[in-house]
Amino acid sequence: MIELDALIGEGGALGAPKLGVFRASIARGALVRAGTVLGTLHVLNRVYRVRAPAGVAGVVEQLATARDVALGYRDTLLTLGKLEGLTAEVAGPAARAAGGVDGVAVVAPIAGIYYRRASPAAPPYVEVGQAVVTGQTVGLIEVMKTFNPVVYSGAPGTVVATPAGDRQEVSAGEALVVVRA
């Protein structure tokens, strides 16, 4: 299937890259970042997968109201709201706190279900060996069907461990990621 990037509009709007009938595959409240599949666009006998373009991050605030929506070029597919993440606490040195790994623990700011990726098909936000910087999302915590991005607040470094598993229940203060400067 051919993939097309949605067009960036004003006020958080993402627009149709072609004329056609759009079928959303994403729900209101879902987290969207570059590469997230938004749905399919049916143009005559062709089907295109529509994804979020580079530089986009937010939460779906509004979708077209019908299941199948006929759209013109640049018509709004959906509108994104600002991403208001939870700032993860950076605990003191997590010496041996995560399976004997030295570093600084990034701990859960609230209790909930921790997700290492935006969707089952998406790559993890961070992996061992990857560089991280202040403001970078390291995961999501779901509380009452609301997905809250967890944002790293420490000094730049490298991920040395990811003790919290994908879709794992975590408590506030539990180590999610360990970073070494």
> Tens digit of pLDDT per residue, the chain (181 long)?
899 999 998 888 999 999 999 998 888 777 777 788 999 999 999 999 999 988 777 778 888 766 667 788 889 999 988 755 555 555 544 434 445 667 888 888 888 899 999 888 889 999 999 999 877 889 998 887 788 888 887 788 999 999 999 999 998 888 899 998 8
pTM above 0.75, yes or no: no
Domains of the chain (ranges; CATH) run: 2-81 (2.40.50.100), 86-180 (2.40.50.100)
Give the 3-state secondary structure percentages of the chain, helix then strand then coil, rounded to 5.
0, 50, 45
